[in-house]
Amino acid sequence: MKRFSVACGLIPFLFFFLLATAVAESPRRVIVDTDPGVDDAMAILLALNSPELKVEALTVVPGNVDGRQGLENALKLVSLAGRCDITVAGGAHHPLNQKLITAQFWHGKNGLAGVELPTSKCKADPRFGPDLIIELVHKYPYEVTLIPVGPLTNIALAVSKDPSIVPLVKDIVIMGGSITGGNVNGAAEANIYNDPEAAAIVFNAGWMVTMVGSDVGERTLITRKYLAELQSLHGPQSDFIAKLADFYLTRSEKSGYQGAAMYDPLAVGVAIDPTLATLKDMHVDVETKGEFTRGETVANRMGSNENNVLHGDHYEIEGSIDLKPNARVCLASDADRFLQLFISRIKGK
């Protein structure tokens, strides 16, 4: 009898242990907002092949290619992965306050290195991307991680329409910005440059933005060595990614790089495993006006601004004003470990 009651007493503990284990191991719900895009395609297939993530939707934003081509590409990618269960929705048609700048120069005529994938078996969801984001965040409060890897137009539209989603989002991991110079020009990274007003809305929304910038992406390179690893086993996805990587590497080598920057895939990698990145809390402002610096992410590494107070005809420094961090800025990545993860997830698929 006593033994029975002891055993019964353990049942609730066992139940909670199993529940806690299940919660710890349940995949994280993510929405990838994307402008596919060679590195977007790599990022999407990494996400779809990673058991740590449950991709709730792909929402398409204009950037590397226009919205129509981007939606077609996203649908072809989920079809290639045999995942017509993934919701794919179009979004904004243009940036908030400027003309669209597309990047076929880097991504090929169709945005996917000129590789023609079969017509998609999957259908687009009729909902508007930003509305879908709002809907999913409310459906799964505190569970959804947003992974925007294109210009931030869709996210800005969602946040502007329904600011109540901000505290309900579990995390937001963006590919965008840089704290050490840009990849468009001396100052700006492409995703921020292509819609600085949207980026300013997103950075000021009230959440902590995990910022995986171009400066770190450019130190996380896929090289010929990794390409050879990818080519060693064949499958529809790995063959496709190998073709993209070859195109992307050749383009990067022509521009003087040793390998191709894994911009978007690294953001997905950090969502899978934050220990792949060295992160530091900072306050980041987006420059929307500067003559040479529009689209720059201006990161404050000190956590404060000088406090200048007017005394007669001049100002005097009177200490400093603390700034609240709004971003976890990625300073470095464990590039080899990330590349191994990427290759292992794509290889043989």
Q: What is the nearest approach in angstroms of Ca ion to the Cβ of residue 61?
A: 9
Q: What is the nearest approach in angstroms of Ca ion to the Cβ of residue 298?
A: 22
| Residue closer to Ca ion, measured from CB, 13 or 105 | 105
Q: What is the nearest approach in angstroms of Ca ion to the Cβ of residue 35?
A: 5
Q: Of 31-39, 89-97, 116-124, 324-332, which segment contacts Ca ion by CB under 5 A?
A: 31-39
The single residue among 37, 95, 129, 217 that binds Ca ion, judged by CB under 5 A, is 37
Binders of Ca ion in range 156-195 (CB under 5 A): none
Backbone angles phi, psi at 217, to 5 degrees: -55, -35
Pairing between strand 277-286 and 327-333? antiparallel
Amino acid at 217: G
Q: What is the nearest approach in angstroms of Ca ion to the Cβ of residue 228?
A: 25
Q: What is the dihedral of CA 237, 84, 43, 283, to 10 degrees?
A: 180
Q: What is the dihedral of CA 49, 331, 216, 51, to 10 degrees?
A: 0
The residue with tokens 């890897």 is 149
Q: Are 46 and 345 in contact (CB under 8 A)?
A: yes
| Residue closer to Ca ion, measured from CB, 70 or 229 | 70
Q: Of 28-36, 130-138, 165-173, 341-349, which segment contacts Ca ion by CB under 5 A?
A: 28-36
Nearby residues of 21 by Cβ (< 8 Å), 6 or more positions away? none
Calculate the alpha carbon distances from 170 to 138, 208, 271, 349 in Å.
11, 10, 11, 30
Buried b / exposed e along 20-29 (16+ C-beta atoms within 10 A): eeeeeeeebb
- 150 lies in the site for Ca ion, by CB under 5 A: yes
| Residue closer to Ca ion, measured from CB, 104 or 308 | 104
Binders of Ca ion in range 237-266 (CB under 5 A): 264
Q: Are 102 and 65 in contact (CB under 8 A)?
A: yes
Q: Of 40-48, 53-61, 105-113, 213-221, which segment contacts Ca ion by CB under 5 A?
A: 40-48
- 268 lies in the site for Ca ion, by CB under 5 A: no
Q: Of 29-37, 210-218, 281-289, 305-313, which segment contacts Ca ion by CB under 5 A?
A: 29-37
The single residue among 149, 179, 249, 335 that binds Ca ion, judged by CB under 5 A, is 149
Strands (E), 7-155: 28-34, 53-60, 87-89, 144-148
| Residue closer to Ca ion, measured from CB, 263 or 283 | 263
| Residue closer to Ca ion, measured from CB, 40 or 189 | 40
Q: Are 31 and 136 in contact (CB under 8 A)?
A: yes
- 229 lies in the site for Ca ion, by CB under 5 A: no
| Residue closer to Ca ion, measured from CB, 35 or 72 | 35
Classify burial at 67, counting beta carbons within 10 Å of its beta carbon; exposed 0-12, middle 13-18, buried 19 or more.
Answer: buried
| Residue closer to Ca ion, measured from CB, 44 or 299 | 44
| Residue closer to Ca ion, measured from CB, 149 or 174 | 149
Element of type H or E holding 45: helix 38-48
- 33 lies in the site for Ca ion, by CB under 5 A: no
The single residue among 40, 72, 218, 246 that binds Ca ion, judged by CB under 5 A, is 40
Residues that bind Ca ion (CB under 5 A): 35, 37, 40, 149-150, 264
